[in-house]
């Protein structure tokens, strides 16, 4: 029985919106004995639709995805499919993104330009419920944990120019909501949402939604699981 279990392949789903990256990952992983790619998805929404059908053991997720970002996808995967282990595969060699991914439920965090065998090791470790984090990121996480509280607080500042409603909007963006959903949650028009987003872009110095979300994640501006946002009162 034990021999049969060892021979069972690790079923993996890949989530990345870049075709070249997907093709490269498939080549790397399927060359390894004991790893099988059961499905690919090009967005978080597509991944959620396919999870029940393909039942992967491990899901490898890029942070930068169209629509729902990778960290929010991991959060939803762990909520709805707790037995599926998640690995973040990203270009961001940053302890803030790693912390957010781990808090969302990721068991591994691998940098895209790391050695190929590191990803393979991360997949095999995740299948056994073990964690693997790229060495450079692990070092930064240790440095962050041991950093003096005063200096850490200063790093987390930097969004005081945003209004409270702009903070609400960017938190909802970071949670993966689109403009229509944000408008419904806040009881405002989609036009007003777009105005808030334009103001956010201008104030934080980014040009698109993806970088705004990454900026928010970097500063811990995320909607906590039990946090609620007060909507505007409907006009009478």
97-124, pLDDT tens digit by residue? 788 888 889 999 998 877 788 899 999 9
**Is the per-residue pLDDT at 48 higher than 80?**
yes
If asked whether residues 46 and 92 sit together in one domain, one would say: yes
Lowest mean pLDDT among 20-24, 90-94, 149-153: 149-153
If asked whether residues 126 and 57 sit together in one domain, one would say: yes
Reported as a pLDDT band with limits 50, 70 and 90, residue 25 is very high
Q: Locate tokens 């629509």: which residue?
A: 67
Distance between CA atoms of 212 and 217, rounded to whole angstroms? 9
In this predicted structure, what is the pLDDT of residue 101?
A: 86
Identify the domain boundary among 113, 145, 177.
Answer: 145
C-alpha closest to that of 109 among 87, 128, 92, 93: 87
CB 114 within 8 A of CB 134: yes
If asked whether residues 189 and 95 sit together in one domain, one would say: no
Identify the domain boundary among 91, 112, 145.
Answer: 145
CATH of the domain at 210: 1.10.10.10
CATH of the domain at 38: 3.40.50.2300
CB 212 within 8 A of CB 170: yes
What's the total number of domains in the chain? 2
Task: Please indicate, yes or no, if residue 150 is contained in any of the structural domains.
Answer: no
Identify the domain boundary among 119, 145, 171.
Answer: 145
* Domain boundaries, position 87: 8-145
Task: Please indicate, yes or no, if residue 129 is contained in any of the structural domains.
Answer: yes
If asked whether residues 64 and 121 sit together in one domain, one would say: yes
If asked whether residues 141 and 166 sit together in one domain, one would say: no
If asked whether residues 171 and 140 sit together in one domain, one would say: no
If asked whether residues 182 and 113 sit together in one domain, one would say: no
Task: Please indicate, yes or no, if residue 118 is contained in any of the structural domains.
Answer: yes
């Amino acid at each position: 029985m034990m021999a049969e279990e060892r021979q069972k392949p690790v079923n993996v789903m890949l989530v990345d919106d870049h075709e070249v990256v997907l093709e490269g990952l498939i080549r790397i992983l399927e060359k390894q004995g004991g790893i099988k790619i059961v499905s690919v998805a090009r967005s978080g929404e597509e991944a959620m639709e396919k999870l029940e059908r393909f039942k992967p053991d491990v899901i490898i997720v890029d942070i930068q995805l169209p629509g729902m970002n990778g960290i929010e996808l991991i959060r939803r995967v762990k909520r709805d499919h707790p037995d599926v282990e998640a690995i973040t595969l990203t270009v961001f060699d940053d302890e803030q993104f790693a912390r957010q991914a781990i808090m969302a439920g990721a068991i591994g965090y691998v940098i895209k330009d790391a050695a190929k065998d590191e990803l393979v090791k991360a997949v095999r470790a995740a299948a056994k419920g073990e964690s693997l984090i790229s060495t450079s990121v692990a070092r930064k996480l240790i440095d962050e944990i041991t950093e003096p509280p005063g200096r850490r607080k200063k790093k987390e500042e930097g969004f005081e120019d945003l209004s409270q409603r702009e903070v609400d909007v960017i938190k909802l963006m970071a949670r993966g909501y689109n403009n229509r959903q944000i408008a419904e949650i806040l009881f405002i028009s989609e036009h007003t949402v777009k105005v808030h987003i334009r103001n956010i872009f201008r104030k934080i110095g980014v040009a698109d939604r993806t970088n705004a979300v990454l900026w928010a994640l970097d500063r811990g501006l995320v909607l906590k699981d039990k946090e609620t946002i007060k909507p505007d009162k409907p006009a009478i």
